[in-house]
Every structure is written in structure tokens, then in C-alpha cells.
């Protein structure tokens, strides 16, 4: 479902947790042609389409963004499927957003703060960390280390 959006983009900024093999919370920027190489994170299912495949499909259709920036942060834990951000990763969000804002400005975008109205625009109640964490089922009912049928 992301492919049409990637194909339509001239420039693309991606925020993700990437296993670089670095200390947890380490932020790393990856640019342009290097981005697909770092998007091959481990999948939970062979049927899951990774973002690397989305970029490859966009390239094959000759509709890939001409500029890409991956803002990646080394996660603390990779096996907690559906888990929330750990403090080391969460602490990097303001810096990651700052990097994105600067890049957008470099690309000629007029980036301005929307102030308090951003919550209404983005439906922050549904996207907020509190709603996500409180809605997550307990570990007893939702396996967090993969598909229990194959463990």
C-alpha cells in the first residue's frame, strides 16, 4: 500500500528503527542509493513486504524518488514485536525531527511550526504513544517474540 506514495514522491524522508549493530539509541543518517541497503530489516513473516521491496519496486517502475534520506535509530530490542519505543530511542525523536526539518529546508520546503493545532490535524489521540501503549494486549494473549506456532 506504500508503493504509490513512494512512486509519486520526488524526495523521501524515512524514519525507522534499523539494526546497524551499534549501541542502542545511536542515530545514523543514510542517503540516496545507500537507503535500500539499510532497509532490509528482519521480517516477522515471509509474506510481509519490507520497505526495501517497496523501494525496489519503485526503482523497477522507474518511479523512485530522486533523493532519499533514512533517519535510523538503533533499537534496544528487536524481538518485541509491536513493542513501544524504549527510552534510548524515544530520546532521539526531537533530534531526528530536527534533522528532517533541516533537510526539508535544504530541499526548498517552507517548514514552519503549526503550534497546538498539529494535534487536531494529525489526530494525535489515535497516533499518540499513550493510546498505542495502553491498547497493546498483554504478553499472555499476544506473543511478542514471533508466531507461537513456529517457536
* CATH architecture under which domain 3-113 falls: 3-Layer(aba) Sandwich (3.40)
Cα distances (Å, whole numbers) of residue 1 to 4, 6, 53, 72, 130: 7, 10, 12, 22, 26
C-alpha cell belonging to residue 98:
530536527
What is the mean pLDDT of the segment spanning 126-130?
A: 69
What pLDDT, on a 0 to 100 scale, did the predictor assign at position 96? 94
The domain limits of the chain are 3-113
The residue among 147 and 48 whose pLDDT is bigger is 147
What is the mean pLDDT of the segment spanning 7-27?
A: 91
Banded pLDDT at 42 (limits 50, 70, 90): low
What pLDDT, on a 0 to 100 scale, did the predictor assign at position 1? 78
Mean model confidence pLDDT for the chain: 81
The model's pLDDT over 56-104, given as tens digits with 9 standing for 90+, comes to 899 999 999 999 999 999 999 877 777 788 899 989 999 999 999 999 9
What pLDDT, on a 0 to 100 scale, did the predictor assign at position 130? 75
Amino acid at each position: 500500500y506504500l508503493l504509490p506514495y513512494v512512486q509519486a514522491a520526488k524526495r523521501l524522508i524515512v524514519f525507522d528503527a534499523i539494526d546497524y549493530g551499534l549501541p542502542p539509541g545511536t542515530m545514523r543518517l543514510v542517503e540516496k542509493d545507500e537507503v535500500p541497503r539499510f532497509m532490509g530489516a528482519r521480517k516477522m513473516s515471509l509474506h510481509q513486504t519490507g520497505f526495501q521491496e517497496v523501494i525496489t519496486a519503485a526503482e523497477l517502475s522507474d518511479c523512485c524518488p530522486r533523493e532519499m534520506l533514512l533517519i535510523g535509530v538503533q533499537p534496544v530490542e528487536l524481538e518485541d514485536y509491536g513493542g513501544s519505543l524504549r527510552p534510548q530511542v524515544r530520546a532521539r525523536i526531537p533530534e531526528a525531527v530536527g534533522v528532517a526539518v533541516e533537510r526539508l529546508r535544504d530541499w526548498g520546503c517552507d517548514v514552519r511550526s503549526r503550534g497546538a493545532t498539529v494535534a487536531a490535524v494529525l489526530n494525535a489521540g489515535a497516533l499518540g504513544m499513550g493510546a498505542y501503549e495502553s491498547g497493546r494486549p498483554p504478553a499472555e494473549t499476544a506473543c511478542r517474540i514471533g508466531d507461537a506456532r513456529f517457536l
